[in-house]
């Protein structure tokens, strides 16, 4: 199992996704994570 990403990294990626300047798929690709991973991070940030 891969090591989890640091919280700061997750927060930065979520902030970029929230700006809505690019599709989720493109943002995930740019940060080298899966699209489903990013969607999970966005859901977790809403809680």
The pLDDT score that the predictor gives to residue 12 is 97
3 to 6, 35, 41: CA distances (angstroms): 9, 17, 15
This model's pTM is above 0.85: yes
**2 — pLDDT class (breaks 50, 70, 90):** confident
pLDDT in tens, 12-45: 999 999 999 999 999 999 999 999 999 999 999 9
The span from the CA of 42 to the CA of 47, in Å, is 9
The span from the CA of 37 to the CA of 9, in Å, is 13
Q: Is residue 47 pLDDT above 80, yes or no?
A: yes
What value does the mean pLDDT take over residues 1-16? Answer: 91
What lies within 8 Å, CB to CB, of 41 at 6+ separation is: 10, 13, 14
Which class for 23: exposed (0-12), middle (13-18), buried (19 or more C-beta within 10 A)? exposed
């Amino acid at each position: 199992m891969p090591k989890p990403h640091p919280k700061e990294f997750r927060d930065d990626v979520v902030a970029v996704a929230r700006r809505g300047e690019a599709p989720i798929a493109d943002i995930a690709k740019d940060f080298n994570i899966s699209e489903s991973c990013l969607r999970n991070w966005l859901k977790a940030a809403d809680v």
